[in-house]
Each structure stands twice: as structure tokens, then as C-alpha cells.
């Protein structure tokens, strides 16, 4: 019995042609496809891992696959004479330390005002729910509180620096 030849697959990155008799895509569908392509290019251009846009009736989320981090020691290449475009952080973090991450995107501030003392310094002992810093987002000052009591082992962000959601801010050595 003879088989009918299989249709050729479209090349990667191309849009397959519409089959005969298939309905033409609506302008709304074409708009979503174009938005998805634009978001993917922005994702690659800015080096983001995920971007999401929501309109009145459409929600598009584009996410890049990222390799999962393997726990354990990591070998870093020897530093070269030329400065790196993106500096690498090679600090080893003890598994006993608790990382406090930014709950939102905004600007990190260590003190309530430019002339005031910082909320905390490295080495300070903090209580659970004590204010550690402020993140300014959309002209609102959001107090960020400690999740655990313990000693501030490291402050990972500089005052006035922009932070992203999930970015580590503090390392805290919890009280035992």
C-alpha cells in the first residue's frame, strides 16, 4: 500500500502556511502574535528571563528557559587582565544564612531619609518583622521587614540602587 507523502515541516523560526480551507487568522490573533514577537525581542535585548503584559482582554507572558542552578562548588575561570563587561559575584554563601529578597521592583534605601542613620548595618542583631530598608516603587515608600531574627551577615545592595523582584538584599544569620 502506498503512503501519501508527508508535508514538509517549516524551517525553524518561520510561520507555516495556512492549510487550504483553514480560517484566516483574525486581526486580534495577528496582534497577539506581533506582541509576542516584540516581547521576545525585548526579552533577549534586555537579558530578562520573563516578561508579562496584560491588556483589557489579552494577557501575554513570554518566558525564557533558564538552566537550573546546581548546588555545590562552582569553578570560576581565572580573571583576565581586561575588565569584564558584567562583573561576577563569587562570594560563597553559607547554607545556614537566610536571604532576604526584594518583594518588588524599585529603588533600595538603607535609611528613612538622606540625613538619617541606616535602619541596619552589617553585624547588627535584628528581630523578626524589624524594618531593614525601604524600597521606593511608584513614589511610594515600602518598608521591608525581616522574615527572621538574627544578625545581618551581609548587605548586598548599595543605597539608592535599583532592585528587581527577587533580587537578594540581605544575608541574615538566624538566631538559634
128 lies in which domain range? 98-174
Do 106 and 167 sit in the same domain of this protein? Answer: yes
- Integer Cα distance of 96 and 151 in angstroms: 12
At which of 43, 63, 83 does a domain end? 63
More confident residue, 4 or 165: 165
Q: How many CA atoms lie within 13 A of 104 on its CB side?
A: 14
Q: How far apart are CA 78 and CA 86, in angstroms?
A: 15
Residue 90 falls inside a structural domain:
no
pLDDT of 159 higher than 90: yes
Q: Could you give the CA distance from residue 131 to residue 129 in angstroms, rounded to a whole number?
A: 6
| Structure confidence by residue, pLDDT tens digits, 55-98 | 666 777 777 765 444 455 555 555 554 444 433 343 444 568 88
Q: Which of 55, 36, 33 is nearest to 44 (CA)?
A: 36
- pLDDT tens for 103-156 read 999 999 999 999 999 999 999 999 999 999 999 999 899 999 999 999 999 999
Amino acid at each position: 500500500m502506498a503512503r501519501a507523502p508527508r508535508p514538509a515541516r517549516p524551517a525553524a523560526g518561520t510561520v507555516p502556511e495556512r492549510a487550504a480551507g483553514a480560517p484566516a487568522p483574525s486581526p486580534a490573533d495577528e496582534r497577539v502574535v506581533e506582541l509576542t514577537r516584540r516581547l521576545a525581542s525585548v526579552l533577549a535585548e534586555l537579558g530578562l528571563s520573563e516578561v508579562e503584559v496584560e491588556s483589557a482582554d489579552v494577557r501575554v507572558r513570554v518566558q525564557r528557559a533558564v538552566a537550573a542552578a546546581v548546588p555545590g562548588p562552582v569553578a570560576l575561570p581565572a580573571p583576565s587582565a581586561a575588565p569584564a563587561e558584567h562583573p561576577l559575584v563569587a562570594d560563597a554563601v553559607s547554607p545556614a544564612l537566610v536571604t532576604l529578597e526584594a518583594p518588588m521592583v524599585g529603588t533600595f534605601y538603607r535609611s528613612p531619609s538622606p540625613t538619617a542613620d541606616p535602619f541596619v548595618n552589617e553585624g547588627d542583631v535584628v528581630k523578626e518583622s524589624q524594618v531593614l530598608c525601604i524600597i521606593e516603587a511608584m513614589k511610594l515608600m515600602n518598608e521591608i521587614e525581616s522574615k527572621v531574627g538574627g544578625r545581618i551577615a551581609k548587605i548586598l545592595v548599595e543605597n539608592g540602587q535599583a532592585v528587581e523582584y527577587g533580587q537578594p538584599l540581605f544575608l541574615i544569620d538566624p538566631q538559634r
